Amino acid sequence: MNITVRTETADELNASLTSSLARRAFLKDGPELSGERFAWTYRQGYERATIVSAFADGSKAGQLACFFKTFIAHGQRRTAAELVDLFVSPEYRGFKVASSLYKEMQKVVASEGADIMYAYANEGASVLNKRFFGMEEVTQLPARLGFALPGARTSDNFTIFERTDEIASACASCFGSDKGGVEMTREEVRKRISSPIHRYFCASDGDTAILASPRVIRSLPVLLVCATFSKRTDKPQAAATRAMIASLCRTTGRTAYLYLGWNDSVGFSNGFGLPERLLKGKFLIQSNCLNSQRAGIGRFEILDVDYG
């Protein structure tokens, strides 16, 4: 069997083929596996994306994609690579297609000079991530779950934004001194929240902004708090962020909210921390840095991975 592997840019990628491959690989369907979603993700959702694809007998047999980002650790700007979307068609899983994809992606990552590596961990890719990219560390994103009860107290001291451009501007106006993590600009926030399948909302008082999206996670409707930004010199009070979240929940028709990650400038403390045993292996990030360099990475939230 002749299997060929080639590198594609986002514009060169046939998103319909990727969608078909993903549905075969996962044996399911849905908007998250649609051609529209993949086209947006690679061409509009991120600053730079490269895809490595494998073909056999004229059909797409596998794929591995990578997003390149600017990452700050211990005050130094570096290039980070997030590996995403490893799909191998079931009929080709015995032909070392995945290894071929990773070998080619190694060349791409080396050419970009990326030395920060991470991925949303899953059982199928974890061994390959470790073998080819040295992702020895597994980080459980801290998770906090809370409830905004009907009639919860809100405030007039902040504004809820629902339009993409306004949300991006509200978040950017609250960027503080960079304490490490994925570097964000207004345009990058705008790209990330222009998803064709998810809606985003933002609450901001001019100093602190909370970015959130209504989701259904394990059959539970929740408001997923995707990112927080603050330009305050001290951490915002929990009562202020609680009021913002209550308004976001009311706007989106959610009662429960879930926050994942950390931002040392905000110190999100609303809700209660979920123990790892309740997360059951979900929201794990595999990397070569998030544990060992945690002191120099002041913000890493669910928006910083493809899940967000």
Q: Name the token pair of 1.
A: 């069997």
Domain that holds residue 191: 143-283
| 172 & 236 share domain | yes
Residue at 288 is within a domain: no
Instruction: Name the domain boundary from 95, 114, 135.
Output: 135
Average pLDDT estimate for 121-142: 93
SS (HEC) of 214-226: EEEECCEEEEEEE
| 124 & 228 share domain | no
Q: How confident is the model at residue 121 (pLDDT cuts 50, 70, 90)?
A: confident
Q: How confident is the model at residue 32 (pLDDT cuts 50, 70, 90)?
A: very high
Residue at 290 is within a domain: no
Residue at 195 is within a domain: yes
Can you say whether the dihedral through the CA atoms of 126, 129, 132, 136 is positive or negative?
Answer: negative
Residue at 185 is within a domain: yes
Residue at 171 is within a domain: yes
Res 308: pLDDT: 82
206, pLDDT greater than 90: yes
For helices 123-133 and 97-112, what crossing angle results, to 10°?
Answer: 50
pLDDT tens for 62-89 read 999 999 999 999 999 999 999 999 999 9
Res 152: pLDDT: 60
pLDDT tens for 219-239 read 999 999 999 999 999 999 999
| 188 & 117 share domain | no
In the predicted model, what is the mean pLDDT of the chain? 94
| 65 & 127 share domain | yes
| 148 & 250 share domain | yes
Contact status, residue 86 vs residue 45, Cβ threshold 8 Å:
no
Res 280: pLDDT: 87
Contact status, residue 255 vs residue 219, Cβ threshold 8 Å:
no
What pTM does this model have? 0.94
172, pLDDT greater than 70: yes
| 85 & 39 share domain | yes
| 94 & 129 share domain | yes
Residue at 209 is within a domain: yes
Res 179: pLDDT: 83
Average pLDDT estimate for 206-214: 98
| 62 & 158 share domain | no
| CB half-sphere exposure, 13, CA atoms < 13 A | 31
Q: Name the token pair of 261.
A: 């990650």
Q: How confident is the model at residue 149 (pLDDT cuts 50, 70, 90)?
A: confident
For the chain, what is the domain count? 2
CATH number at residue 228: 3.40.630
| 161 & 32 share domain | no
| 147 & 52 share domain | no
For residues 199 and 1, the model is more confident at 199
Residue at 96 is within a domain: yes
| 40 & 123 share domain | yes
Average pLDDT estimate for 146-175: 89
Res 122: pLDDT: 83
Residue at 74 is within a domain: yes
Q: How confident is the model at residue 2 (pLDDT cuts 50, 70, 90)?
A: confident
Contact status, residue 211 vs residue 303, Cβ threshold 8 Å:
yes
pLDDT tens for 186-195 read 999 999 999 9
157, pLDDT greater than 90: no
CATH number at residue 52: 3.40.630.30
pLDDT tens for 258-289 read 999 999 999 999 999 999 999 988 999 999 99
| 88 & 215 share domain | no
